[in-house]
Structure 1
Amino acid sequence: MDAADLHRDAVVVDTHNDLILLVDHFDRREQPGHFADFWLPELRAGGVDVQVLPICIEEQFQSEGALRRTLLLIERIHRLADEHADDVALCLTGADVDAAVASGRVALVIALEGAHAIGQDPALIHTLARVGVRVVSLAHFGRTFLADGSGLDDTSRGGLTPEGVEVFTAMERLGVVFDISHLGLAGVEDVLDRATRPLLATHSACLALTDSHRNLGDAQVKRIAELGGVVGIAAAIPFFIDATTPTADRVVDHIEHVAETAGIDHVGLGPDFIDDYYQQVFGGWILPPGLPTGTAPAEVARPSDLPKVTEAMLRRGFAEDDVRKVLGGNTLRVLRDVMGRPAD
């Protein structure tokens, strides 16, 4: 099977696309058709069958405005699903995901990036789960009431706070998938010491290949694999992949490294498609401290570029079954095992 046919035939799961921020941006400019005009064609062109939709809270909302902003964006995702019911379906369980994919619709999964909405009230994880959140990370860049983000590794190496431990424990019990991306070093170790269920690194890459505080070391990758988890490679972020040569082949270098380190069953795709948001809203990237500037543009910059990863994997000698695992099969396993399935 050639690359194009294989990509079309495989189930493709993207564990990180910030598209809801750009949808909201255009909504506020009285252009509510942005999802239909831009993102839906992009998802179809990229063969995306399952789209995890993270809610990233911009800095100006991260204190008293976080909960309201989060709920408004969750409501927008629900309305997207209603408006485009023939093309997408909001999913609460792995079975929902399978049903959506079988019907030819894109399965949407709501996620929180940083969980700023929880603040210092762990009970809110239950509320957020009730309204459809199924994947959660506890920190973004910087500190929350729950944990330290990776950008603080040079100054603070705190693990999960008591509130963070309470939220993490509730997530495992509720069947909300934990996302380890963005946690600081101590937080990663804390989670891996406590975890009893498979988890995701929704958008990370390999520290052994690219020196970035956002990337995972080999020991961390192995421990994620031991739990049955998956590392989604952040193919669209040059400073995670290769600041000077962020090509599809370099993305495959990271895929290959995870496979060699922990096994082919523990690597997936979490590109982190956010370039269009930065270009539209700010006219270019605005980066937090500790990340390089002046990087080359990523070859995999939008969903329609995802077939380039399949082409590169086949060119590099990956077996077809292994390509299918990376494109989505591995992540589907985690979603089926955990998402919406309360622990015994």
Structure 2
Amino acid sequence: MNEMHRRAIVADLHNDLLCAVVARPVDHWAEFFRERWLPQLRAGGVNLQALPVFVEDPYRPEGALRRTLRMIEAAHRLAAGNSDAVTLCTDGAQVDRTLAEGRIALVLALESAPGVGEDVELLETLFRLGVRIASLAHFGRTSLADGSGEDATGGRLTRSGVAALAEMERLGMLYDISHLGACGVEHVLELSSRPLIATHSSARALFDHHRNLDDEQIRGVAAGGGVVCVNFFAPYLHESDYSIGRLIDHIEHIAGVAGVEHVGLGPDFIKEVLADTTPPCCEPAFVEGVPADAYLPGLAGPAGLPLVTDALQQRGWPERDIVAVLGENVRRLLRNELGRPASVG
């Protein structure tokens, strides 16, 4: 492994590994994580891992809350069963202690929050269970906001969505704008009083896809003290050139627009998750017409993350900037905001 990468704090803000964990029998959850995922995180030098709680379509809407709670329980059990290696963290101080002690800091994140619906008070319930980051839409429409796949509607946050943002800011739960529709992002930037995060979004200026953020949105996140974590999913980076070079182009563009101190990594590794959760009898999974397991060479999973450091070095980036993007920017954001109620100065 690259020596600079080994020394750095590496933060991955989006890996759907919980979907693979909950596909196993309950009494195998911790063991499966230890055997399948922990070696990959260590090989990639990952020190801080966000765990998205993603509820698949068959569970929506009726089973969404039950599925959400089961995935949160899986996170707690895998952490308890691997306490020598990981800690499920609920505030910035706990993240720092975990890193100092040589364990991987895990942070629970809701993706789309279909289990909440208009019952915004459930955000506090989920906060009590350890959730510290949340997005409130995926590709489609929710009762809180429209996802980026619905950009043509021009939808902003609903009244419940506005209340959800206020509740998250009160609690100290980071608002994640990834997957949110363009007008929804604009609305959040108008209303937010605390830093935002985009856990897995790339640059629309380089590839015009609705899942990417335009420069004005990127500047808005940076102006509020937030971080944009670049998505590695190949079809969001370029229509055909699936190369690490294209990923670095997106990192460099966002750094140029926002400032290097507002850039992080949100790989969105799903190739192995799909292999673990999709029955072999079924057709391959697609996301809006492209294979859902498309990936950059060497970056199908977390073990490949040192390649990002190598590529940034080859572009001539100074060590301080590489280290910032790899994880220090996210670490700073979590130290200042994670789990900190709005009443705390």
TM-score category (smaller protein): over 0.9
Q: Does 1:147 align with 2:145?
A: yes
What secondary structure sits across from 1:118 in the alignment? coil
CA displacement at 1:248 relative to structure 2: 2.0
1:193 to 162, 167, 190: 190
Contact 2:44–2:306 under 8 Å retained in 1: yes
Mapped to 2, the partners of 1:242 and 1:254 lie a distance apart of: 10
1:86 aligned partner? 84
Cα shift at 1:33:
2.7
Post-superposition shift, 1:249?
A: 1.9
Q: What secondary structure does 1:112 align onto?
A: strand
For residue 30 of structure 1, report the CA deviation from its aligned partner. 6.2
* Cα distance in 2 for residues equivalent to 1:266 and 1:203: 13
User: Any idea what SS the aligned residue of 2:23 has?
Assistant: helix
> Residues 119 and 295 of structure 1: is their aligned pair in 2 closer, same or farther, counting only changes over 3 Å?
closer
State the partner residue of 1:253: 249
Instruction: Classify 1:212/1:104 alpha carbon distance in 2 versus 1 (closer, same or farther; 3 Å).
Output: same
Which digits, 9 at most, give the CA deviation of each residue in 1:247-275, with x for residues without a partner? Answer: 22211111100111111011100001111
One-letter amino acid of the structure 2 residue matched with residue 263 of structure 1: G
Q: Which residue of 2 aligns with 1:281?
A: 277
The alpha carbon displacement at 1:245 in A equals 2.2
Contact 1:179/1:200 (8 A) holds in 2: yes
Aligned Cα root-mean-square deviation (Å) = 1.7
**TM-score, reference length from structure 1:** 0.95
Q: CA deviation at 1:78?
A: 0.4
Gaps of 5+ in 2: none
1:301-316 equivalences under 5 Å are 301-316=300-315
Query: Residue deviations 1:146-185, cap 9 Å, x none?
Result: 110001113x121111111111101011100110000001
2 CA distance for matches of 1:258 and 1:179? 17
Gap change, CA 1:241 and 1:29, over 3 Å in 2 = farther
Q: Which residue of 2 aligns with 1:50?
A: 48
Q: In structure 2, do the counterparts of structure 1 residues 80 and 213 end up closer, same or farther at CA, with 3 Å as the change threshold? A: same
Instruction: Report the CA distance between 1:295 and its aligned residue.
Output: 8.5
2:227 corresponds to which of 209, 227, 230: 230
Q: 1:86 to 1:159 in 2, by over 3 A?
A: same
Alpha-carbon distance in 1 for matches of 2:188, 2:294: 34
Aligned residue number for residue 327 of structure 2: 328
Amino acid at match of 1:254: H
Q: CA deviation at 1:278?
A: 1.5
Structure 2 CA distance for aligned equivalents of residues 295 and 112 of structure 1:
22
Is 2:26 the counterpart of 1:18? Answer: no
Amino acid at match of 2:138: H
Contact in 2 for aligned 1:49/1:101 (Cα 8 Å) = yes
Deviations 1:99-118 (A, max 9, x none): 11111110000000001111
| Deviation, structure 1 residue 123 | 0.5
Cα shift at 1:286: 2.1
* Structure 1 stretches of 4+ moved >3 Å: 28-32, 291-297
1:141 maps to a residue whose letter is: F
Query: Residue 166 of structure 2 aligns with which residue?
Result: 169
The 3-state SS of whatever aligns with 1:343 is coil
Question: Between Structure 1 and Structure 2, how many residues are aligned?
Answer: 339
The one-letter amino acid of 1:110's match is L
What TM-score does the superposition give when structure 2 sets the normalisation length?
0.94
2:235 to 216, 236, 239: 239
Match of 2:118 in 1: 120
Please say if residues 148 and 184 of structure 1, whose CA atoms lie closer than 8 Å, have aligned partners that are also in contact. Answer: yes
Q: Report deviation, 1:197.
A: 1.0
